[in-house]
Amino acid sequence: MGKTGKKKVVKKGKKKVKNHITSKKFSKYKIESSGKITKSKTCSKCGPASFLGEHKDRFHCGKCGYTEIKK
């Protein structure tokens, strides 16, 4: 007197995940080949949410105009 329970198998179609980054913030993070994550410089005036744009010889905040000269 043994009924074996039927196993329900639901096949799920795999969604194709495109390898693209939705958030702009992520572009400010660089993952090095060693696995180390480096973050861009942030503005000391606007806070850590504001990244400084990197230029040849300086970092510049587009929000408040703060500029930090590269050493």
Site residues (CB under 5 A) for Zn ion, limited to 18-57: 43, 45-46, 50
Count, residues near Zn ion per rule CB under 5 A: 8
Nearer residue to Zn ion within complex by CB, 25 or 45: 45
Q: Does 58 bind Zn ion (CB under 5 A)?
A: no
Q: Does 66 bind Zn ion (CB under 5 A)?
A: yes
Exposure pattern of 9-37 as b/e (b: 16+ CB <10 Å)?
A: eeeeeeeeeeeeeeeeeeebeeeeeeeee
Positions touching Zn ion (CB under 5 A) are 43, 45-46, 50, 61, 63-64, 66
